């Protein structure tokens, strides 16, 4: 649609998913149509507040310098060509292969509307553990709990991935790191999320998610290291493990030194597998401490350590990264392909350009949604998710 705003009235009370969506109505919303990149307005109540007019980072990965939006990459010493960066699949790697690789192993963009992605490989001229991470991070020098974190992103690994080549052969595969270190790396006080060690052994594996901090008492912990991991449910099938194509991960957290913190991770497989609660430690099944660390200053890394290095064909890809760090809540808007979160296979977070408790302006991000009817949600782990209405997507 044009820049003319469409307005939806949100339900005043929380409810379960209705059998039919609450449709956009009224003279200010005659068409109910939206299009990729167009601005649209959601009006109602109970949206909470945000401290800025945009998410902390919204990276569609179409830029030229990854450090314009992010503060850290792993492969930056020395600059040998394997660094985390935006690449076309047809860009050439230092070993003269294509970043997207070839033939049946070709990895294209995450959505039809993108041309590039963030990618790197478990290879480095630095040698040793210089090859062992694929990740990029954002630091917050004055940040201290309590606060909320919301993030979503697409990720996949190469179909050429060689499993079990590291030493020790523990199939280590981390993919998010939360740390007090501000200058790069893990530091001393940190925790991470990972696919359970010794389980992600092949492209057909269905590992659970772990959360582990090798030390302090974070959410879900009941014993001390090395038996400190809390494990979520096992993946429903191989398509969620990122070795068989793109998956969408959504993360919502309340970071606190108290006992009411939560961490929720859901995963979906675009146009294939429905949204799945891969790690759920929140209002539904319990709460706990999510940030026991002293002082101010935190870094959030997307990606992490993998044992399978050095190996140039062991590559990981990321796209459409949404990161929002706020003092007041986890609310965000998403468009989905069904009117039920349990059946949705496409969940596209919508970046905002203004936000108040009664009106939010969104910049439509179509992503993997098909043209036709799409559904707008206010996602909120604290107060409950709301189905706001439906649109016709062109």
DSSP 40-61: EEEE-S-----SSSS-SEEE-S
Report the range of poorest mean pLDDT among 1-5, 211-215, 360-364. Answer: 1-5
Higher pLDDT, 190 or 317: 317
Q: 269: number of CA atoms within 13 Å, CB side? A: 16
Mean pLDDT of 141-166: 96
Report the range of poorest mean pLDDT among 46-60, 137-151, 225-239, 365-379. Answer: 225-239
Q: Are 367 and 113 in contact (CB under 8 A)?
A: yes
Q: How far is CA 159 from the centre of its chain?
A: 21
Q: Which two tokens stand for residue 194?
A: 């990972």
Condensed to tens digits (0 to 9), the pLDDT of residues 268-312 reads 999 999 999 988 775 555 577 889 899 999 999 999 999 999 999
The predicted structure's pLDDT at residue 78? 80
Q: Given a cut of 50, is residue 386 above it in pLDDT? A: yes
Q: Given a cut of 50, is residue 69 above it in pLDDT? A: yes
Report the range of poorest mean pLDDT among 143-157, 180-194, 343-357, 359-373. Answer: 180-194
Dist. CA 207–CA 105, nearest whole Å: 22
* φ, ψ for residue 101, nearest 5 deg: 60, -160
Beta bridge pairs of residue 375: 336, 390
Q: Given a cut of 50, is residue 72 above it in pLDDT? A: yes
Dist. CA 270–CA 346, nearest whole Å: 5
The predicted structure's pLDDT at residue 127? 83
Q: Which two tokens stand for residue 214?
A: 């090798």
The predicted structure's pLDDT at residue 14? 26
Dist. CA 38–CA 162, nearest whole Å: 42
240: three-class secondary structure by DSSP: helix
Cα angle for residues 31, 34, 37 (degrees, 5° grid): 150
Instruction: Note the pTM of the prediction, 2 decimals.
Output: 0.90
Condensed to tens digits (0 to 9), the pLDDT of residues 92-141 reads 999 999 999 998 899 999 999 999 999 999 999 888 889 999 999 999 99
> Which domains occur in the chain, in start order?
1-48+356-394 (no CATH), 57-326 (2.60.120.200)
């Amino acid at each position: 649609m044009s820049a003319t705003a469409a307005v939806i009235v949100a339900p005043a009370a929380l409810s379960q998913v209705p059998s039919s969506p609450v449709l956009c109505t009224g003279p200010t919303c005659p068409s109910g149509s939206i299009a990729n990149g167009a601005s649209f307005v959601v009006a109602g109540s109970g949206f909470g507040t945000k401290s800025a007019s945009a998410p902390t980072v919204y990276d569609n990965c179409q830029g030229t310098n990854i450090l314009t939006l992010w503060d850290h990459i792993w492969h930056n010493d020395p600059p040998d060509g394997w660094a985390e960066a935006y690449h076309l699949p047809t860009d050439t790697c230092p070993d003269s292969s294509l970043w997207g690789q070839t033939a049946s192993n070709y990895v294209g963009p995450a959505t039809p509307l993108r041309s590039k992605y963030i990618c790197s490989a478990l290879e480095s001229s630095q040698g040793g553990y210089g090859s062992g991470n694929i990740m990029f991070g954002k630091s917050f020098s004055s940040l201290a709990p309590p606060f909320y974190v919301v993030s979503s992103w697409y990720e996949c690994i190469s179909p050429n991935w060689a499993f079990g080549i590291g030493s020790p052969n523990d199939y280590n595969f981390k993919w998010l790191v939360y740390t007090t270190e501000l200058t790069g790396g893990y530091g001393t006080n940190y925790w991470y999320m990972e696919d359970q060690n010794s389980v992600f052994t092949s492209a057909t594996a269905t590992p659970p998610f772990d959360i582990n901090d090798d030390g302090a008492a974070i959410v879900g912990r009941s014993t001390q290291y090395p038996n400190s991991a809390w494990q979520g449910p096992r993946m429903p099938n191989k398509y969620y493990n990122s070795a068989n194509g793109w998956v969408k991960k959504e993360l919502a957290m309340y970071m606190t030194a108290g006992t009411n913190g939560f961490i929720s991770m859901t995963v979906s497989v675009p146009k294939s597998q429905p949204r799945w609660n891969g790690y759920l430690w929140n209002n539904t099944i319990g709460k706990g401490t999510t940030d026991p660390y002293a002082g101010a200053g935190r870094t959030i890394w997307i990606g992490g350590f993998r044992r399978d290095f050095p190996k140039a064909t062991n590559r990981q890809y990321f796209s459409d990264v949404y990161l929002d760090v706020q003092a007041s809540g986890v609310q965000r808007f998403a468009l989905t392909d069904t009117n039920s979160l349990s059946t949705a296979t496409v969940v596209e977070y919508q970046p905002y350009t203004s936000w108040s408790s009664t009106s939010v302006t969104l910049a439509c991000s179509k992503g993997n949604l098909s043209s036709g009817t799409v559904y707008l949600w206010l996602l909120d782990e604290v107060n409950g998710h709301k189905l706001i209405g439906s649109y016709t997507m062109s």
